[in-house]
Structure 1
Amino acid sequence: MKLLTAEYLLPIASDPISGGAVAIEGQAIVAVGGSGELKAKYPSAGVEDFGNAAILPGFVNCHSHLELTAMRGALDDVEHDFKSWLLKINDLRSAMTDADIEDAAIAGAMEGAAAGVTCFGDIGRYGLAGTKALKQVGLRGIVYQETEFSPDNRTAEGDFAKLGAKYEELRKEETDLVKVGLSPHSPYTVGSQLFELIAQYSILNRVPLSIHASESLDEMNLLEKGEGFFTQFYEKLGLEWNSPHCTPIEYLERLGVLSTRPLLAHCVTVTDSDIKKIAANRASIAHCPKSNAKFGHGYAPFEKFLDAGIAVGLGSDSVASNNV
């Protein structure tokens, strides 16, 4: 038995406690209260006093890409151009070995733990890296296995089969603390049929989803007007992709994806109507202000999210889009 004491204790679920203590037995917190009260209740417990400090629960990073930790500062020269950033990060990641990616994820998890983060919502193309990292560092969270670049409906069934195989293999790594989910990357990199297949699979098997959505004006122009860089890129690669002529959030609702109650990352360019749809479907949002600012994408309407009753958490995004 051990007591952790400090000038302040912030339980979060209840009011702050002045002169508070946390009683720990093994790996479990067994009591929270006033220091005098717990010392009397557990007289033989060792005491570690942090003095003029505050003890509070670990932070939750709702949106990260731990496997990209090695890229800190590597894309600063293209941060002003989202198109160039996307192309460069794909090239850099392709040059990394599985061992490189796993080392990067472990380094990211250790950085997070040192900063007080004890729970991650981590998205990874190589999901095993994030899963191993959280387990090795002793953290909790959900690792979302990300889709490959799959915007063309002609490859939807094959792409879904490959994704499902990765997910089922990753599930074998689950523990009480580390769970796995799926991440259809975004409305502009995943075709409509693949989105529908993933949504159906999620609902039937209770698989959590996380999606990048309404992150930039480039994405909005593609979805609403069928214009911009992404359209030209698809044409260059000979891919079939048709604009739904609606906002990204409306698109996800049409496809049944919002009904899975996904964790939506960014939501910078959402409309008031989008916010109502997110709230009505009880989806949640990972707010990433540092990443949004670094790219110059603008800022998400955070207060409107809260006013609508949407659950909102903070995310760092990757260090490739947030050097902190």
Structure 2
Amino acid sequence: MTRLVTARYLVPIGSRPLENGALVIEQGRICAVGKLRELRAQVVGAQVVDYGDRVILPPLVNAHTHLELTGFPEWLAEGEGYLPDGDFTAWLLRVIAVKRSLDLDAHRQAILDGLEMCLRSGTGAIGDFLSVHSLADSYLLSPLLGRVYFEVLGQDEQAFSGVLGHISRKLRQQPGPHLWAGLAPHAPYTLNRKTLTLAADTVRLGGLAASIHVAESAAETELIRSAKGPLAERIYPLAGWQDYLGSGEGVSPVAFLDECGLLQPGVVLVHGVQVNG
């Protein structure tokens, strides 16, 4: 059935806002946009859905989410109850500690809660990072559009290759009705030249969409350039990666990605606040 959806204001984005604007919707698709009075005359007998003194606008896009961490504020309150101020490495350690304390049910509920929050806030498309790969079915009933990026990290080439092989089938499936899969090499500071190159090859050969955190902090820049700094001193020992530190790459994180082949079409760079670092 044809529907005529209207509200006090309609914001087409491509043109000026319309007061008393409306949309004509047929079989789930927008067929026309205009003034309510004019469209009502064109589609006689259409069901009118009037949202009153509100605004209709296209859904928002959140290109980078971690919905599995939706419950982080509550989880944090149950622990030490605060976040370190201005220290990226200390914040990262807190996130790691909180995630390690959770079971699968908590992560799944966080994803479901995050999907619902997106819808309630007017978000219609996401680019979500998923580190708990077994929870990919959490998106099956979501009407959201976008991508679910399977997050991977690691320094050991053989182990990393095994992870890529393990998720290869998931990367060819749709996590949700309107959600497609992609690969998310976590960040230059949690991978090395060999594993980043493996990820780049997987993206290129598989024709995959990808996203990666990069140039996120001064600590990351220091680690990539010289293998020194707080990430080397505090994160690498925690992960057992000391033997992979080397002497640094001598270039910025973005230049390092380029050398590893990850600056290619279809790759979304996240953060980028130290691009010239």
CA separation of 1:211 and 1:76: change in aligned 2, threshold 3 A: farther
For the pair shown, the structure with the greater C-alpha radius of gyration is 2
Q: How far has the Cα of 1:252 moved from its partner?
A: 0.6
What CA RMSD, in Å, does the superposition of the two structures yield over aligned residues?
2.1
Retained in 1: the 8 A contact 2:173–2:180?
no
Match for residue 239 of structure 1 among 223, 240, 243: 243
In the other structure, the counterpart of 2:115 is 109
Moved over 6 A (4+): none
Q: What TM-score comes out, normalization by structure 1 length?
A: 0.76
In the other structure, the counterpart of 2:132 is 126
Deviations 1:85-139 (A, max 9, x none): 222222221222222211110001101110000111000102453x544432321
Mapped to 2, the partners of 1:127 and 1:39 lie a distance apart of 48
Which stretch of structure 1 is more off in the superposition, 246-255 or 39-48? Answer: 39-48
Q: Which amino acid aligns with 2:206?
A: N
CA separation of 1:62 and 1:76: change in aligned 2, threshold 3 A: farther
CA separation of 1:249 and 1:91: change in aligned 2, threshold 3 A: same
The correspondence of residues 1-324 of structure 1 with structure 2, limited to 5 A, is 1-72=2-73, 74=76, 77-80=82-85, 81-127=87-133, 129=135, 131-148=136-153, 150=154, 152=155, 155-175=156-176, 177-233=178-234, 234=236, 237=240, 238-242=242-246, 243-271=248-276
Equivalent residue of 1:43, what SS?
Answer: coil
Q: How far has the Cα of 1:156 moved from its partner?
A: 1.2
Mapped to 2, the partners of 1:68 and 1:219 lie a distance apart of 22
Equivalent residue of 1:93, what SS?
Answer: helix
Compare relative contact order (CA 8 Å, sep 6+) and give the higher one, 1 or 2.
1
Q: Which amino acid aligns with 2:108?
A: E
CA separation of 1:269 and 1:122: change in aligned 2, threshold 3 A: same
CA separation of 1:76 and 1:213: change in aligned 2, threshold 3 A: farther
Retained in 1: the 8 A contact 2:171–2:183?
no
Mapped to 2, the partners of 1:164 and 1:49 lie a distance apart of 51
Retained in 2: the 8 A contact 1:209–1:260?
no
Q: How far has the Cα of 1:247 moved from its partner?
A: 0.8
Long gaps (5+) in structure 1: 275-324
Q: Which amino acid aligns with 1:264?
A: L
Q: Which amino acid aligns with 2:162?
A: A
Q: How far has the Cα of 1:13 moved from its partner?
A: 2.9
Retained in 2: the 8 A contact 1:223–1:247?
yes
Retained in 2: the 8 A contact 1:3–1:47?
yes
Deviations 1:209-241 (A, max 9, x none): 111111111111112232211222436733312
Long gaps (5+) in structure 2: none
CA separation of 1:139 and 1:261: change in aligned 2, threshold 3 A: closer
In the other structure, the counterpart of 1:282 is none
In the other structure, the counterpart of 1:306 is none
Provide the aligned length of Structure 1 versus Structure 2: 267
Mapped to 2, the partners of 1:118 and 1:239 lie a distance apart of 44
